[in-house]
Amino acid sequence: MELPAEILAKVRSLVKKECANHDAELNGIRHYCCREPAASDKRCLYFVLDDVRCKWFEEAVLPLDSKLEYEYWQVVNPYKVNKPRDLSKQCKMCGKVFSAKSNREVYCDSCKVTARREAVRKCNQRYREKKRERGIA
C-alpha cells in the first residue's frame, strides 16, 4: 500500500504540525522521531518511506483531520473507512443552513444569542409567576 503523493503530502504536513514525537531537526537529524518503531536513523517513517504505517500517527494524530483520515483509510484499509460526519443543520429560528459543532446545536451563530436570551426571559417569567401564586413577593 503506497500512499498517493497528495495524501502523503497532507500526512507529512499534519505530522509536522501536530505529532508530539516529531521534531523538525535534532542533532543534525531532519524529521527526528522519538518513537521506537522509527527508521534506523531515527527519522519519521513518513519522511523516509512512502509505504509505511505508524500506529501512533493513525491513533493519535490522524483523527485531528477528519477529511484526511477518510482519504487515508480509503487507501490503507477501505473496510475501516468511517465517512466524515456532516453536521449541517437548519436553524430553528431563521431557517438558515449552518454547520453545527455538536449534535445538540439547533440555532445558527447569529440566532444563538437571541434564543438563549428568550429562554432565560421565559424561565424568569415562570419563576416570578410561581412566586406570585405562592404569595411570596
Residue 113 CA to residue 102 CA, distance in Å, equals 17
Q: Are residues 96 and 76 part of one domain?
A: no
Is this model's pTM higher than 0.85 or not? no
Checking if the pLDDT of 14 tops 80, the result is yes
User: Is residue 16 located within the same domain as residue 47?
Assistant: yes
Quick one: average pLDDT of 45-65? 79
Do 124 and 72 lie in a common domain? no
Name the one residue in this structure whose C-alpha cell is 518503531: 37
User: Do 17 and 69 lie in a common domain?
Assistant: yes
Question: What percentage of the chain reaches a pLDDT higher than 70?
Answer: 88
Handedness of CA 102, 107, 113, 115 (dihedral sign): negative
The b/e string for 66-98 (b: 16+ C-beta within 10 A; e otherwise) is: eebbebbbeeeeeeeeeeeeeeebebeeeeeeb
Same domain, 130 and 106: yes
- Do residues 10 and 76 share a domain? yes
Q: Tell me what pLDDT residue 55 has.
A: 80
pLDDT at 80 (0 to 100): 67
Same-domain check for residues 28 and 76: yes
Are 72 and 97 in a shared domain? Answer: no
Residue after which a domain boundary falls, among 47, 62, 80: 80
Residue 86: per-residue pLDDT = 67
When mean pLDDT is compared across 84-88, 97-101, 116-120, 121-125, the lowest value belongs to: 84-88
The one-letter amino acid at 44:
C
DSSP 49-98: -SS---HHIIIIIGGGSHHHHHHHHHHH-GGG--PPP--EEE-TTT--EE
- Among 51, 80, 109, give the residue marking a domain's end: 80
**pLDDT (tens digit per residue) in 84-94:** 666 788 999 99
> Considering its fold, how many domains does the chain have in total?
2
Residues 17 and 68 reside in one and the same domain: yes
Q: Which domain holds residue 130?
A: 88-134
| pLDDT surpasses 90 at 121 | yes
Give the end of a domain, one of 37, 55, 80: 80
Span 52-74, mean pLDDT? 84
Q: When comparing pLDDT for 33 and 120, which is higher?
A: 120
Q: Which amino acid does the sequence have at 32?
A: Y
Query: Within this chain, do residues 71 and 95 fall inside the same structural domain, yes or no?
Result: no
